[in-house]
Chain A
Amino acid sequence: MDIFSFLIDGFALAIQPANLVYAAIGVLIGTSVGVLPGIGPALTVALLLPVTFKLDPGGSIIMFAGIYYGGMYGGSTTAILLNTPGESASVVTALEGNKMARAGRGGPALATAAIGSFVAALIATAGLAILAPFLVKIAVKFGPWDYFGLMLIAFVTVSATFGSSPLRGLTSLAFGLWLGLMGLDQLTGQARLTFGVPELLDGVEVTTLAVGLFAIGEAFFVASRHLFKPEKPIPVKGSIWMTREDWKRSWKPWFRGTVIGFPIGALPAGGAEIPTFLSYTIERKLSRKPEEFGRGAIEGVAGPEAANNASAAGTLVPLLTLGLPTSATAAVMLAGFQQYNIQPGPLLFTQHADLVWGLVASLFIANVMLLVLNLPLVGMWVKLLKIPLPWLYAGILVFASMGTIAANPSVTELLLLTGFGVVGFVMRRYDYPIAPAVVGLILGPLADSALRRSLQMSLGDPMILLQHPSSAIMIGIALVALVAPFVFRGLAKFRQDED
């Protein structure tokens, strides 16, 4: 296998002292820009790409890898500490991560995110080296009907985030689906629920909804209870490092998250969100302490973060083997390659093998560098939460709105953000779960277009969903997952009656 000799050559390049320095610089600036709200990994890389041009190709690819991983990690930092996910893939991280931070366990949350990302990226990058040619063949065979099946499975798993009442959970999900309708329909160009406002034609940004519901809704809620149930200053309990117990509860989720994230990330329209939901659901199901979910369960950070990073490595599969950019970040990476005169595509592995493996090696190095540089910083990040409450929330609001303004400086966007904040407040007040709304907004449009693309290709015949074995199996799994809990409950009841 000359893959490995190429990989060794790549490491030889990446491990030179000057290149290590570039990797460190890349990780540092990537992290510091990535923590700015509203600036997810894609925008971080896009903004910092010009910085790397000034170096020689080897150094710039390495710095680029550092920026990429730094940006990814920075996004989850804000999700955990400030409840403001910088991109849709860190929404799930915010669910449990922020609860942990609130309980004074921000240190372990950040650490498990960092180490989980590291483990996932390590395995997934290895998977990339070995499985890429094989995976990609399956990935392109994935038709719209298969995506629809995958969406159905994802929809069923959402119920894990429903909380105590199915009615309130479904309402929250429906709200997300409704927001997902807004904007121009991708297939026909028909405007839905835009009420003649041109700014709504592009639909609702997932981050706007998530930040509005999470961060701003939270600020409203906490302020409204401040007089009656003053929020205690956030304690830092115990060590800021992970305890033995934390390690024990984290390592399996890391691996499971990786296994879920990498193949779905390799699908051309798989994305990073669905694996994070799936991982969250699975960890919740498998956890020995499911009651901790919703109150800061470390598995709920470890799994989704690993899934997120593994899917990011997964997107490199179609990118490097087909030249197919399947995510915003991958599209920016593509632009980066072109700057180095690499044309990604089927010929890349044969024509520029040295550069590809140099990149893969750089990703490894950057990954290690990220861990080395950021673990010591965890202590500093956690101190952020010691800021007095009024300033902390004032700061969160400034950061949250700034992210929205930076991405799209329009008053409509800010009005939406505020509106979602009010909705988030009402939802919290009357005990509606928040996460299903975000899930609905992400999955709704995807399922809609997958189903309609299938039907368009079959000229309206719904049997197309069952004619392909792969989609039929996935639809079957979704059905079983939907019905099984009821059946089991019924059986249990039946047995009880028998006794």
Chain B
Amino acid sequence: MRKIFRLGLLATIVGGTLGSGTLQASSQDLELTIMAPAGAGGGWDSASRSMQDAMMASGNAKSVQVVNVPGAGGTVGLAQFVGSADGNPNQLLVAGITLVGASISNQSPVDLTQVTPIARLTGDPLVIVVPKDSPIRSIDDLLATIKKDVATTIWVGGSAGGADHILAALVTKAAGADPSKINYVAYSGGGESLAAMLGGQATAGVSGYGEWEGQIKSGDLRALAISYPEPIEGIEARPLKAQGLDIELVNWRGIFAAPGVEGDDLDKLKSAVEKTVKSAEWKAILKARGWTDYYAPSDEFKAFIGSETERVKTILTSIGLAN
């Protein structure tokens, strides 16, 4: 009796560490921990907490906890996730395209191909803008300007090696200029780079569409194109693809399970996430936050991660941020 009690206690303690996966009958009993590899308040954190709310409100998990592990564009959190959650079916990770780039440019020993993709969740378009009194009126004008003198074409956007930088490099390359010669001035966030755009210190700027939406609508910035493959309702600027450039880049976020999670455990997570994403609660969150739905199920997402990693690596190498 005593021994059983002790075993039970041990199981509780171990269960707390490793999760009590084997004991679960249905997905409604899931007790999950989502790691946001960023500080509280940021993009991945709000995605994690939104997922937490939606999963619990839609009844697809019993309890969900969010843990923040900030550091180095998410690579610190990813390394910890790969190391400590291995095979644990109760641990999830929220991450996005920035982490793909950060893993490469920080020469991190881990990357997103080592974890188990569950679903791609959201994907926000980037936008390319010029100041309102700029002589550049179209994406073709911008390409011509770049071609004429790549050095004096000053780009502003988010951190070096991030999605904004990658898009600027892709456009520079498409203009026929050497992407390693791009004059990209990195700022810490959409706010500071927006000030540089409004102050007329730059030729062109890149940011998430949502961050600069107000200025675009008021006419203080002229949007030339968005990087989303298809037109988006409510956004006037047309996709690069529709303007003859074969460029698409989406600031996506997805959810992952630990390495080595497979079989029933994996199926349970997949179905819980899928049901959540299709729930009214999740739709309401997307609307409130202004996120664009970019759902893709596990298998499609897995292939996507592979191709995205390759693509980002090529671009970062071409601008000298990776070797």
* A–B interface present (Cβ within 8 A): yes
Q: Return B122 CB to nearest CB of chain A, in Å.
A: 15
Contact B217 A457 (CB under 8 A): no
Could you show 9 A-B contacts with beta carbons less than 8 Å apart? A42-B41, A144-B201, A186-B188, A198-B72, A198-B79, A202-B71, A268-B194, A335-B46, A347-B218
A308 surroundings in chain B (CB, below 8 A):
none
Q: Which B residues lie within 8 Å of A459 (CB)? A: 151-152, 183
How far, in whole Å, are A374 and B199 apart by their CA atoms in the complex?
41
Give the distance to chain B from A34, nearest Cβ to Cβ, in Å: 15
B18-26, B153-161, B260-268: which lies at the interface: B153-161
In the complex, the answer to whether B185 meets A324 with C-beta atoms within 8 Å is no
Cβ of B191 and Cβ of A325 under 8 Å apart?
yes
CB neighbours (8 Å) of B191 from chain A are 268, 318, 324-326, 330-331
Cα of A186 to Cα of B40 in the assembled complex, Å:
21
Which of B161, B213, B215 interacts with A189 by CB under 8 Å?
B161
Whole-angstrom distance between the Cβ of B255 and the nearest chain A Cβ: 21
Chain B CB within 8 A of A426 CB: no
Which residues of A are at the interface with B, using a C-beta cutoff of 8 A?
42-43, 46-47, 139-144, 184-189, 191, 198-199, 201-202, 268-269, 318, 322-326, 328, 330-332, 335, 338-339, 343-348, 407-410, 453, 456-457, 459
Within 8 A of A (CB), among B267-323: 288-290, 321
Chain B interface category by residue count: 35 or more
Asked if A186 contacts B186 (CB within 8 A), the reply is yes
**Cα separation A277 to B142 with both chains bound (whole Å):** 43
Q: Find chain A residues with CB under 8 A from B202 CB.
A: 457
- Chain B contacts for A189, CB-based, 8 A: 105, 159-161, 186, 321
Judged by a CB distance under 8 angstroms, whether B91 is at the interface is no
Give the chain B neighbours of A199 by CB distance below 8 A: 71-72, 76
Q: Write the nearest CB–CB distance from B309 to chain A, whole angstroms.
A: 18
Rounded to whole angstroms, the CA-CA distance of A347 and B214 in the bound complex is 7
- C-alpha spacing A328/B192, complex, angstroms: 12
From residue 187 to 235 of chain B, which have CB atoms closer than 8 A to chain A? Answer: 187-189, 191-192, 194-196, 198-202, 213-215, 217-218, 220
Quick one: closest B residue to A323, CB to CB?
B214
B108 within 8 A of A: yes
* Min C-beta distance of A353 to chain B, whole Å: 15
Whole-angstrom distance between the alpha carbons of A399 and B300 in the complex? 47
Query: Is B69 at the interface (CB under 8 A from chain A)?
Result: yes
A345-B217 CB under 8 A given contacts A188-B160, A201-B106, A202-B70: yes
**Interface flag for B60 (CB, 8 Å):** no
Contact B199 A198 (CB under 8 A): no
| Best-surrounded residue of A184, A324, A343, A408 (most CB of chain B within 10 A) | A324
Expressed in whole angstroms, the Cα–Cα distance for A270 and B256 within the complex equals 38
The answer to whether B39 has its CB under 8 Å from any CB of chain A is yes
Q: How many A-B residue pairs have CB under 8 A?
A: 132
The CA of A348 and the CA of B215, in the complex, are separated in Å by: 11
Contact A456 B183 (CB under 8 A): yes
Contact at B199–A140, with CB atoms within 8 Å? yes
Query: A408-B39, A453-B185 given. 18 additional CB < 8 A pairs?
Result: A143-B199, A184-B106, A186-B187, A189-B105, A189-B159, A322-B215, A324-B194, A326-B195, A331-B189, A335-B41, A335-B46, A345-B217, A346-B218, A347-B214, A407-B39, A410-B69, A410-B76, A456-B185
Q: A339-B288, A345-B215 are in contact. Are A318 and B195 (CB under 8 A)?
A: yes
A459 to B41, CA, bound (A): 36
Choose from B151, B188, B214 the contact partner of A345 (Cβ within 8 Å).
B214
Q: Are B199 and A142 in contact (CB under 8 A)?
A: yes
Contacts A328-B41, A339-B288; is A202 near B185 (CB within 8 Å)? no
Q: In the bound complex, how far is the Cα of B215 from the Cα of A302, in angstroms?
A: 38
Q: How far, in Å, is A8 (CB) from chain B's closest CB?
A: 27
Closest A residue to B217 using CB positions: A347
Contact call A139/B72, Cβ cutoff below 8 A: no
- Which residues of A have CB within 8 Å of B46? 335
CA–CA, A323 and B161, complex, Å: 25
Contact: B201 with A268, CB < 8 Å?
no
Report A-chain residues with C-beta under 8 Å of the C-beta of B172: none
Check if B75 is an interface residue, CB within 8 A of chain A: yes
Bound form: Cα–Cα A379–B288 in Å: 44
Measured CB to CB, the closest approach of chain B to A156, in angstroms, equals 24
- B196 / chain A contacts, CB cutoff of 8 Å: 143-144
Contact of B154 among A47, A202, A457 (CB under 8 A): A457
Nearest CB in chain B to that of A190: its residue: B160
> A453 CA to B213 CA in the complex, in Å?
25
Give the nearest-CB partner of A315 in chain B.
B191
With contacts A198-B75, A347-B217 known, is A322 near B198, CB below 8 A?
A: yes
Nearest B residue to A332 via CB reads: B41
- Per the bound structure, the CA–CA distance linking A199 and B79 in Å amounts to 11
- CB-defined contacts of B185 to chain A, threshold 8 Å: 187, 453, 456-457
Does B192 lie within 8 Å of A268, measured CB to CB? yes
